[in-house]
Structure 1
C-alpha cells in the first residue's frame, strides 16, 4: 500500500532584486516512489509545471548549495526570513523560486518519518518490478 504526503504552499518567483510574483505550489511525496519528491507549480496556465528530483538532493539543498545542471537548491536568509532557493533550467527557460525554509524542512522531515532514509526499498517487490520492466506491464 502506497502512502502519500502532500503540502501546499506559496513560493515566490524571483524576477529581479526585490521583485517577485507569488506562485502557488504543491509538494508531493509518495512511498511508491520513495527516492523522489515532486514540486508542482501552478502558474496560471492550463497545465501546471512539474519537477521531480531526488529527495536526498532536497535534503542537501536545505543545508547548502546542492544540485548540478537543471536544478540547484540552496538556503539563504535567517530566522523567519530564511528561504529555500530553487533554480530551475530547461530548454523552455530558467526560473528561480523561493519557498519558506521552515515549511519545506518540516514537510521533508515528515517524508523521512513516512519512509526513513535507508528503508526506501523495504516494501519493494524486486521480482515483480523486474517482471514488469522486462515484460512492459504496469
Structure 2
C-alpha cells in the first residue's frame, strides 16, 4: 500500500458448476486517483479476463444485501443456503464467472483502508472534471 493506493490479496473460489469449485487468487485494488472504483484482478488468468473495475459502493452494499444490476453483482453470505462467503458475479459477452471470497477481510479492507484513504462523499473532490469531460466527449482514452 502507498499513501495513494491499497490492495488486498485473497484466495477465492471460482464456481465451475455442479457444486464444483477451483481455488483462485484474487486481488482487490483501490487508488485515490480513481476514487469511485475498485479493481478486482485475477493474477495468472488470461489478460482479457484478468481485471474488472466497478463502483466501490457496490462492493460495500454487497456486504449487507444483494447489489448490482449490470455486469457486476455482489451478494452477502447466505447462511440459509450454507454460503459464508461474499459472492461476486461477473458477466461478460462470452460467459459468467461466480467467485466466492472471504467476507471479513473485504469488510475490514474497505473500512480500514479504502474509506480511510477517501471517505464517502469525498470522491468528487478528487476528480479532474475537465479531463473527464474531454474523455466523455471522445477526446481521450477511457478507463473502462
Aligned to 1:84: 86
SS of structure 1 residue aligned to 2:64? coil
SS of structure 1 residue aligned to 2:73? strand
State TM-score, norm by structure 2: 0.79
Q: What displacement does 1:130 show?
A: 5.8
SS of structure 2 residue aligned to 1:32? coil
Instruction: Provide the rounded CA distance (Å) in 2 between the counterparts of 1:64 and 1:30.
Output: 25
Matches within 5 A, 1:1-138: 3-16=4-17, 18-42=19-43, 44-47=44-47, 49-77=50-78, 82-109=84-111, 110-127=113-130, 129=131, 133=135, 136=139
Coordinate RMSD, CA, aligned: 2.4
Instruction: Provide the rounded CA distance (Å) in 2 between the counterparts of 1:23 and 1:35.
Output: 26
Point out where structure 2 has 5 or more consecutive residues left out of the alignment.
none
Instruction: Provide the rounded CA distance (Å) in 2 between the counterparts of 1:115 and 1:9.
Output: 22
Q: What displacement does 1:72 show?
A: 1.2
Instruction: Report the CA distance shift for 1:114/1:92 in structure 2 as closer, same or farther (over 3 A).
Output: same
Instruction: Report the CA distance shift for 1:63/1:17 in structure 2 as closer, same or farther (over 3 A).
Output: farther
Whether the aligned pair in 1 keeps the contact of 2:35 and 2:126 (CA below 8 Å) is no
